[in-house]
Amino acid sequence: MDDSVSKCIESIYASILHPDLLPECYDNIANLLGGVGTVLFPVENNALFAPYVSGNLVASNVEYREKWWWRDPGVEAARRMEMPLGIYATEDIVDAETMRTHPLYTDFSPRYGFRYFLSMTIAPLPGVYLILSVQRKLDAGLVSDEERRTAAILRDHLVRSMFLRYQVEHLNQMATAIFDKLQQSANGMALINADGHVVYTNEAMKRLEASGLRVTERRIALDMPASQKVLDTLLAACRSNETSPRQRVATLAARGALPLIARCSAFSLPAPVEKSLLNDLRDFVILTVVDPNIDAEAPPLEELQALGLTARQALLASLVGTGSKPRDIAERLDISKETVRTHLKAIFEKLGVESQNQLSVLLSKLR
């Protein structure tokens, strides 16, 4: 394979993680295929695959959209073909007489330094149809077999890179949602890659430094050597899948009266995800550290309201969950015991429980 083609393919894949390289990538494709520039446009608007026009084709693209697109013989021919996939040159879909006499090819295009096109039609995802059109130089002539072969190779890599770009974007969105949830946790949370390096910690994990646990040089470190050994063994076993799920918990002696509770779970992203793109996050461990010396978590008021309780009912239910009796709740909220019982009846009905004990169990699972 020609060195320039190899470099172009490298730029195609580099653009997956660095979208700012896309203009250079598309212009490299134009240079390889006898073009002055490229135009990429989705048949329907798509946020992930934005339109692109080479800088030297901007003026021609403006005029084309204003005066020519509805007169373009190539557009009409493509419509008749019902969105085909592959490589298509002007001479493949427009007859010779039209190419020789139509004003699009005799007037408009030559004024901007090109005449005919070589297009790649691409469908990287269901419902997504893109056209990458190389506008060929005036003296480029008809597309050669060698140019067609090169275009076919580049098209295959473009399809794959666009699919991978979608995967990466999808994973980024998932990661953002996951990190938001981890950040909200009252327990310490850390993501540890296959090399044992910490790649993420939430604020609660950082606060555990007062208990003798900290992150230093991308590693979880404990003040007590014996606890450090227990944690290192736990993480190593979790990464190697040598333990059963019920064994992935350990207690770590620390500065408080009660030991820290560490739990870890191993995860692997599915095989279709390119390991080269997510090198240190394809296989990872989530470490959760609970400090029982810290006060109990705040009551799950938001979750209770999401289950249909009013703000007042959620507060009353949370008090029941802490063991308060109806008489105590009535005094604290300055309401009658009958009002408390009325609220409890409504709460039981909405949550599908039958007793204060069942309500307490449900609340413990919401925290």
The position carrying tokens 């909200």 is 184
The position carrying tokens 């770009």 is 165
Q: What is the Cα gyration radius of the chain?
A: 32
Answer yes or no: pTM beyond 0.85: no
Phi and psi at residue 4, to the nearest 5°: -65, -35
| C-alpha span between 312 and 343 (Å, rounded) | 9
Indicate whether 274 pLDDT > 80.
no
Given the DSSP bridges, would you call strands 130-137 and 114-122 parallel, antiparallel or unpaired?
antiparallel
3-state helix, strand, coil in the chain (%, to 5): 50, 20, 30
Which element (helix H / strand E) includes 74?
Answer: helix 73-81
Top CATH class, 301-366: mainly alpha
Query: Looking at beta carbons, which pairs linking 209-217 to residues 24 or more positions away fall under 8 Å?
Result: 210/255, 211/254, 211/255, 211/256, 211/260, 211/291, 211/293, 212/254, 212/255, 213/188, 213/252, 213/254, 213/260, 213/289, 215/190
**Of 103-107, 267-271, 317-321, which gets the smallest average pLDDT?**
267-271
Indicate whether 272 pLDDT > 60.
no
**How far, in Å, are 221, 243, 280 from residue 239 at the CA level?**
18, 9, 13
**Could you tell me which residue, 60 or 323, shows the higher pLDDT?**
60
Taking each helix axis as running N to C, give the angle between helix 337-351 and helix 356-366, from 0 to 180 degrees, rounded to the nearest 10: 60
Indicate whether 174 pLDDT > 60.
yes
**How far, in Å, are 3, 191, 195, 216, 364 from residue 305 at the CA level?**
63, 31, 42, 40, 16
The pLDDT of residue 244 is: 55
Indicate whether 164 pLDDT > 80.
yes
**Residue 153: pLDDT band by 50, 70, 90 thresholds?**
very high
| C-alpha span between 103 and 155 (Å, rounded) | 30
User: pLDDT over 70 for what percent of the chain?
Assistant: 91
| C-alpha span between 241 and 90 (Å, rounded) | 57
User: pLDDT over 90 for what percent of the chain?
Assistant: 42
Indicate whether 209 pLDDT > 70.
yes
Q: Are 340 and 330 in contact (CB under 8 A)?
A: yes
Top CATH class, 187-290: alpha beta
In the predicted model, what is the mean pLDDT of residues 15-27? 89
The pLDDT of residue 54 is: 93
| C-alpha span between 68 and 269 (Å, rounded) | 48
In the predicted model, what is the mean pLDDT of residues 306-328? 87
Indicate whether 171 pLDDT > 60.
yes
**Residue 356: pLDDT band by 50, 70, 90 thresholds?**
confident
pLDDT by residue (tens digit) across 118-152? Answer: 999 998 888 888 999 999 999 998 999 999 999 99
Residue type, 100: R
Per domain, the residue ranges of the chain are 3-169, 187-290, 301-366
pLDDT by residue (tens digit) across 52-64? Answer: 999 999 999 999 9
In the predicted model, what is the mean pLDDT of residues 161-170? 87
**Of 243-247, 313-317, 320-324, which gets the smallest average pLDDT?**
243-247
**Residue 281: pLDDT band by 50, 70, 90 thresholds?**
low
Q: Which CATH superfamily includes the segment(s) 3-169?
A: PHY domain (3.30.450.270)
In the predicted model, what is the mean pLDDT of residues 2-8? 89
In the predicted model, what is the mean pLDDT of residues 277-298? 71
| C-alpha span between 358 and 364 (Å, rounded) | 10
pLDDT by residue (tens digit) across 57-97? Answer: 999 999 999 999 888 988 888 778 777 789 999 999 999 99
pLDDT by residue (tens digit) across 227-249? Answer: 999 999 999 888 776 555 545 88
Computed over every residue of the chain, the mean pLDDT equals 86
* DSSP H stretches of helix in 18-54: 22-32
Do the domains at 3-169 and 187-290 have one common CATH topology?
yes
8-state DSSP, 342: H
**Could you tell me which residue, 300 or 247, shows the higher pLDDT?**
300
